[in-house]
């Protein structure tokens, strides 16, 4: 008996029957408003009450079906087709099977309503996140740029941008080249990505060295990282078009690949640990000079760790093979080629991580 009471308290979270009924009543009213907001519930002239009720029931059912994916619509219809004849054959509308199916259908209706609201909120979040990312690469003297991102879910934890840095002392001005990957996926990662973007745009306007910028970014990240659990790997480069120099700091990110026009390969790995782990973490910077024909490939681990149905990873060598075969292409063309190749490799395997790729070519 005590075990049954504990089970009931666990199921109800200790709520009394009156509280449970109030919660169900609120959920039902919310779901009804959601499904009927696009339904004209007025009775048409000359239509009887019974016919009007059947019409409303049909419209209500269609409203539910419209909220489901096509595959789930088929499953629900198959369940109803199997259920209705069995109800007719037994002839007992008061049987436990009948009311059990009705309650399951009611739970489905309530759950779908919650998911519809969540999906709508996610779509809004996706639109907001799109505003935080650049709509296209800027025109930067001396380099051609292409970039793209592909979220594993509706919203992503990856961030990328190329923008002129305010307050730089160079006559031509410098440009920040940034890519970042927040630990985790979906809403939590997307929220931290937004804070990363905001802090970067704010701190980039303060006259400072690249190391100082990264130090400040790390201090801010540590205050929002849940004791290091929500860290961010990032590559931040500062490009000077007047000298073709690229200073950079790699904070725990996949080392970008610098493919020289002579055929040599360099990895941009100087930096330190990811942002948000240790507030006083030391960082160092590196520097390279871009020559005409050099390629710089910057990516998140979602690119090289994309898996196919055999659980094989895409890996870096495939990315390098495509680069070597398309050195004369434009960054935009190579970007499309790489993404298409990843699609062929992955096939129908669900994407498990955000994919972000940035390509730069010195001209």
- Is the whole model's pTM more than 0.85, yes or no? no
Contacts of 357 (CB under 8 A, 6+ apart): 147, 148, 149, 297, 298, 299, 300, 303, 335, 338, 339
**161, two tokens:** 């941008």
Domains in the chain with CATH codes: 2-128 (no CATH), 135-362 (3.60.40.10)
The Cα diameter of the chain in Å comes to 87
Question: DSSP characters for 265-298?
Answer: EEE---EESPBTS-TT-----EEEE--TT-EEEE
Q: What is the pLDDT of residues 89-144, one digit of tens each?
A: 555 455 556 666 666 666 666 666 666 666 666 666 666 667 678 888 889 999 99
At 150, which helix (H) or strand (E)?
strand 143-150
User: Over the stretch 304-345, which tens digit does the pLDDT of each residue have?
Assistant: 999 998 889 999 999 999 999 999 999 999 999 999 999 999
């Amino acid at each position: 008996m005590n075990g049954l009471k504990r089970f009931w308290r666990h199921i109800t979270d200790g709520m009394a029957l009156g509280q449970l009924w109030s919660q169900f009543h609120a959920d039902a009213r919310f779901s009804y408003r959601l499904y009927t907001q696009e339904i004209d519930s007025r009775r048409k002239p000359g239509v009887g009450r019974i016919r009007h009720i059947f019409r409303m029931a049909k419209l209500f059912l269609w409203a539910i079906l419209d909220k489901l994916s096509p595959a789930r619509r088929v499953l629900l219809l198959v369940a109803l087709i199997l259920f209705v004849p069995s109800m007719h054959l037994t002839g007992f509308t008061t049987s436990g099977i009948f009311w059990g199916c009705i309650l399951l259908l009611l739970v489905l209706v309530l759950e779908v309503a919650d998911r519809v609201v969540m999906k709508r909120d996610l779509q809004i979040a996706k639109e907001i996140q799109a505003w935080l990312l650049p709509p296209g690469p800027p025109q930067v003297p001396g380099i051609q740029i292409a970039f793209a991102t592909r979220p594993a879910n509706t919203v992503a934890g990856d961030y990328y941008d190329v923008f002129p840095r305010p307050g730089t002392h160079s006559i031509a001005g410098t440009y920040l080249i940034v890519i970042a990957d927040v630990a985790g996926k979906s809403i939590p990662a997307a929220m931290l990505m937004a804070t990363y973007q905001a802090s970067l745009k704010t701190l980039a306007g303060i006259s400072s060295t690249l190391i100082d910028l990264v130090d400040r970014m790390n201090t801010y990240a540590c205050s929002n990282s849940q004791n290091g659990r929500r860290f961010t790997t990032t590559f931040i480069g500062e490009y000077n078009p007047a000298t073709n120099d690229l200073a950079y700091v790699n904070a725990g990110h996949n080392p970008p690949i610098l493919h020289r026009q002579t055929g040599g390969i360099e990895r941009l790995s100087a930096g330190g640990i990811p942002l948000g782990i240790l507030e006083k973490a030391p960082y160092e910077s590196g520097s390279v000079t871009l020559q005409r024909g050099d390629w710089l490939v910057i990516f998140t681990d979602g690119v090289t760790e994309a898996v196919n149905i055999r659980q094989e990873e895409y890996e870096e060598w495939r990315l390098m093979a495509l680069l070597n075969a398309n050195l004369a292409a434009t960054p935009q063309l190579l970007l499309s080629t790489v993404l298409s190749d990843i699609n062929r490799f992955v096939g129908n395997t669900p994407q498990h991580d955000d994919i972000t790729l940035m390509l730069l070519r010195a001209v």
